[in-house]
Amino acid sequence: MPETVKTNPYGISDFANLRNSNAYFVDRTFLFPALEQLHYQLFLRPRRFGKSLLISMMHYYYDINSADRFDELFGGTWLHEHPTDNKNKFLIMHFDFSEVRGENLAEIQQKFETNCRLTLDGFVNRYRKHITNQVADLIQKQPTFDEGFKILKENLPVKAPRIFILIDEYDNFSNRLLAQAGEQVYRELCHGTGSFKGFFAMLKAANAAITNIFLTGVSPMTLDDVTSGFNIAENISQDSRLSTLCGFTHDDIRTCLDYYAAAGQFPLDRETAFSLVTDWYDHYRFSEDNELQVINPALFFGFLRRSSVESHFPREMVDENLRTDYYKLRHLVITNGRLNGKFNALETVVAEGRVTTKLIRSFREETLTKPESFLSLLYYYGMVTIGDTSLSNVELVIPNLTMRQFISDFLRHGYADACQVNPRATELANALETMAIRGTWRPAVELAAMSLRETISARDLLDGEKTVQAALAALLAVSNVLIPHTEHNANCGFADLALAPMLTLFPEIRYGALIEVKYLSSKEKLSAVAKRKLLAEATAQLEQYAADRHLAREWRLRPDGPVTLIRLCLVFRGGELLLAQEI
């Protein structure tokens, strides 16, 4: 009989469920020996990158109670043929802090205590034969997790297996609290005598009973805040050996697409699919010493699911659940109702497409005012990733179109929240769609310029041309029909702004655009001579960029394709658009 076609694993985070449902699985178990070289480890990846599935896999592999399921769960994997000495050796205490939710500090602390208490009670019930009934009963009579855990660590029999602590999404609720309640409440949770800080101190002190701790999360910030440094866990997130531990390589993507196509469950063009998923979800690089890039696996499988169900590519590539997660971070760029210095750092990323900085492995919330800490936080959240590297600095770049949209959302919401500006998103999106189909570019440009003028007039922090370019790109990113790229590489030059036609999703598009932005200081006037000079400069630059063969092929420009290239020169003074002219 032919093998049953593997199911799509989208949304599955339990390893046993994944294996028992015959779901598609990319084997990374050959990396487990590298994971065993340290006893206390912190592994960070952006949201929805497969961290929970990794933790679940480790649970079943190291759990002494799962020994009789080893063949069932790990059959066919590298680890099944090369088991380590630690296979099914430990008592597993598995915390999942994604379940800790609340609207304020008191509620968060209460839910945190409940979560820890339930985890401890579940641990005791699973491992009674290793603990003794007397100790187990005494633990469960204690009113708090702290008191119960203290009894466990002091009375674990010498000959009993040691405890392996797994903590999934260790910083989930602290990040949520920071977003919802602000910096002061976050500090109360993580500093002083807070229960969260006490929890980590307790784990550190129990090293006779606990031999291994593995935490996953998004950033190192919370752990640094609660422990005053990485003194209970080594951050292995940039280990070159582990750069593909979560995430799929290009070979993985093609293999998966080929598999479902051969099974008759993916009838669409695979090269187009590959192009779409790499453009929108790929290009994450997690080690300065390993250039291999990976794609977000959850977003990839979500794309496959939607494409298969509808029998066409999704016209909206951004996962709305992920957008909601990132939307909560907009508080980072506003202080007391005003845009702060972190907003300027974000504008630099958008305007220049990259920024050179030090990648900080350990930082506290109070240091986010420093550009290198804030940019490093953006790296951990997946909004930027590693580009080129040097001896002491790293170039951080926007990895894909999804993150470019999210960063643009950050900027637009910052303008709306702090500057009280209406970005006119719906009107602008409609105008951009009309521009893409009919080539009528002026309504879109003038709507964006109107919002930009209102924004800049309300700004406390202003950096001239960079601010204009970043704001313009963010405002024009309201539609996925024309995709804005700043400093777009074309024919040995860099166009200030490119509006790339998204033909793979919208083949009816007939126009794309290259835009040169010229900026005058507040004292300069646009005289006839100055106008001629600026237009001459823009014309020369745009002609150079338009002659790029790669651009013509990618955008399917005339005469060989259906797309007409619009070439625009925009001249600004402050936030005022003085001239908009097609070249």
Mind listing the pLDDT tens digit for each residue in 200-214? Answer: 888 888 888 999 999
Checking DSSP bridges between strand 564-573 and strand 511-520, what pairing results, if any?
Answer: parallel
pLDDT at 472: 92
Residue 182 has pLDDT above 70, yes or no: yes
Q: Dihedrals φ, ψ of 163, to 5°?
A: -95, 135
- CATH of residue 123's domain is 3.40.50
The predicted-structure confidence for 374-407, as pLDDT tens digits, reads as follows: 999 999 999 999 998 887 899 999 999 999 999 9
Domain C-terminal end among 212, 240, 268: 240
Residue 449 has pLDDT above 90, yes or no: yes
* 2 assigned to some structural domain: no
* 530 assigned to some structural domain: yes
Same domain, 71 and 200: yes
pLDDT at 230: 46
pLDDT at 64: 98
Domain C-terminal end among 317, 338, 359: 317
pLDDT at 346: 86
Provide the terminal-to-terminal Cα distance of the chain, rounded to the nearest Å.
65
Same domain, 547 and 459: yes
Same domain, 263 and 298: yes
Average pLDDT over residues 129-157: 94
Average pLDDT over residues 433-461: 87
Give the residue from 247, 286, 273, 579 showing the smallest Cα distance to 442.
579
Same domain, 77 and 185: yes
* 467 assigned to some structural domain: yes
Residue 427 has pLDDT above 50, yes or no: yes
Domain C-terminal end among 415, 441, 473: 415
Strand, coil or helix: 58: helix
In this structure, of 24-28, 358-362, 445-449, 540-544, the range with the lowest mean pLDDT score is 358-362
Same domain, 508 and 473: yes
Residue 195 has pLDDT above 80, yes or no: no
pLDDT at 417: 78
What gap in Å lies between CA 195 and CA 216, rounded to an integer? 19
What gap in Å lies between CA 288 and CA 294, rounded to an integer? 14
CB 465 within 8 A of CB 517: yes
In this structure, of 160-164, 457-461, 535-539, the range with the lowest mean pLDDT score is 457-461
Average pLDDT over residues 99-127: 92
Same domain, 302 and 388: no
Q: Which long-range contacts (CB under 8 A, 24 or more apart) does 31-35 make?
A: 31/241, 31/242, 31/244, 31/245, 32/61, 32/79, 32/84, 33/82, 33/84, 34/239, 34/241, 34/242, 35/214, 35/236, 35/242
* H, E, C per residue of 179-218: HHHCHHHHHHHHCCCCHHHHHHHHHHHCCCCEEEEEEEEC
559 cis-preceded (ω within 30 degrees of 0)? yes
* 6 assigned to some structural domain: no
Residue 220, both tokens: 């190192």
Same domain, 365 and 223: no
Burial class (CB within 10 angstroms; exposed 0-12, middle 13-18, buried 19+) of 477: buried
pLDDT at 131: 92
Give CA 7 to chain center in angstroms.
25
The predicted-structure confidence for 255-294, as pLDDT tens digits, reads as follows: 999 999 999 999 999 999 999 999 999 999 999 999 999 9
Same domain, 347 and 360: yes
The predicted-structure confidence for 276-285, as pLDDT tens digits, reads as follows: 999 999 999 9
Same domain, 216 and 108: yes
CB 462 within 8 A of CB 456: yes
Give the residue from 428, 433, 425, 468 showing the smallest Cα distance to 444.
428
Residue 334 has pLDDT above 80, yes or no: no
DSSP 485-538: EEEEEETTEEEEEEEEE-TTT-TT--EEEEEEEEEE-TT----HHHHHHHHHHH
pLDDT at 188: 84
* 3 assigned to some structural domain: no
pLDDT at 336: 67
pLDDT at 458: 60
Q: What percent of the chain has pLDDT over 90?
A: 68
Residue 559 has pLDDT above 90, yes or no: yes
pLDDT at 462: 53
Residue 460 has pLDDT above 60, yes or no: no
In this structure, of 62-76, 407-421, 496-510, 529-543, the range with the lowest mean pLDDT score is 407-421
Q: What percent of the chain has pLDDT over 70?
A: 96
Same domain, 324 and 382: yes
CB 283 within 8 A of CB 385: yes
The predicted-structure confidence for 28-78, as pLDDT tens digits, reads as follows: 999 999 999 999 999 999 999 999 999 999 999 999 999 999 999 999 999
pLDDT at 465: 77
Residue 447 has pLDDT above 60, yes or no: yes
Q: How many domains does the chain have?
A: 4
What are the start-end ranges of the H helices in 282-360?
A: 297-310, 320-327, 341-352
Question: To which residue do tokens 């835009």 refer?
Answer: 515
The domain of 276 spans 250-317
Same domain, 393 and 288: no
pLDDT at 341: 75
Residue 461 has pLDDT above 60, yes or no: no
* 10 assigned to some structural domain: no
Residue 1 has pLDDT above 70, yes or no: no
Same domain, 445 and 565: yes
* 267 assigned to some structural domain: yes
Q: Name every residue whose Cβ is closer than 8 Å to that of residue 299 and which is 6 or more positions away in sequence.
A: 48, 277, 280, 281, 319, 322, 402
Residue 8 has pLDDT above 70, yes or no: yes
Residue 229 has pLDDT above 50, yes or no: no
Confidence of residue 164 (pLDDT cuts 50, 70, 90): very high
* 7 assigned to some structural domain: no
